Structure 1
Amino acid sequence: NHTFNSYSKNTGLTKYDKEKYQQALTANQKLVDAEKAKMHANAAIAAKDEFNKLSNTGNSDYLVNKQVEGIGVKYGRRFIAVPIHGIDNDLRGIQKIFNDGSKRFTTGAKIKGGFHLLGKINPDGAIHFAEGYSTAATAHQAINQATVVCFNAGNLSPVIAEFRKKYPDNKFVICADNDQFGEVNTGLVKATEAAAKHTCSIALPVFKDLSSKPTDFNDLQL
């Protein structure tokens, strides 16, 4: 007599083993998600405490060099603090931008889907999206319309997805970075992907002088 188990052709696992394995994976993922949520919550608490202690006024060599205003930011010693909010206006963390242009996020903060809004949203108006603070501030100062800091190219789509749910009828414009001097034009690639996915138009800076290797709308202003 022979006993046959229902082995998978690919793994050699029985159906029972596969179910137990999947249960273990699910349980492990729940632990990972719980730890991540705890990390994000602790980061938000730390960020709120620090942000509240910072000054509403101050000086920033970074803002002077970029020729933009500090909109909704706070000031620390040799840095500005850009708040990172979720779509429900919860403060998740801050991005510190130092005088030399270096940047640092709150450790453990949830960046995906997080943003900083410049200006107010008009129900019938366009909403603009940009990667960095200086690019968004440049666009906002030029057009005086709501502009959203997404912090990096990979975060354009997650942020725009949240806004599209809340503002389904507004026109969306991505003020894309033109990373034309890299092996991959990451700014344009990510902007194009987000535009196709969330029904947006794209504004791309075009430069007459390429000697300084410009990439974004702030470079165009300077």
Structure 2
Amino acid sequence: MQRNGMPYARAGQVVGLLGGSFDPAHEGHAHISKAAITRLGLDRVWWLVSPGNPLKEKGPAPIADRVSRAKAVMQHPRVQVTDIEQRLGTRYTAETIAKLQIAYPDVRFVWLMGADNLTQFHLWQNWQEIMHRVPVAVFARPGDRISARMSRAARMYRENRLIGRAASLLGQSEAPVWTFINLPMSQSSSTAIRNAGDWTPGTVVGDDDEN
């Protein structure tokens, strides 16, 4: 199903949602997406390029620039870069997911995030609602594994965690359920790219510029 510029998904498909400001998008985002498709058996992954991150004081680059950059970085037939939150008029993840479940009642969604986000997940608005709406997959990044596993969210939902090969069942499981996937992650980060001066809004880079 697809309408009003919204992405396409067939009934019964499992779609991973990777949200963020993507300011800018980088190889680490792409790596999480590809790993999610392989390890979780997802049919598709949608990047939700947000109008702004409520937890950050400084606003991001214009969304059109961030979407263009993301499309240049992530070129995969099963991954789609979107501006869903701007189209839906949502600002927080919980309300975005709620509206997507209404718009796509026959599609199963899985929330994807890096382990660094799990450490501050309890600061997100209505974070427990997110846990109870959709399965969650957490991907380890260098240096974040121990703090993520000790996070408030991980401790509170420790009985709902799928371990090992059971992670492939995540998309068909009923929330609350989550899994933690250890991967040799890229050291790339949006902050490092901005600080290095490698991200100038208004320009579009090719894949070679991500290396």
Q: Establish whether TM, by shorter chain, passes 0.5.
A: no
| TM-score when normalising by structure 1 | 0.34
Higher relative contact order (CA 8 A, sep 6+): 2
| Bigger Cα Rg | 1
| TM-score when normalising by structure 2 | 0.35
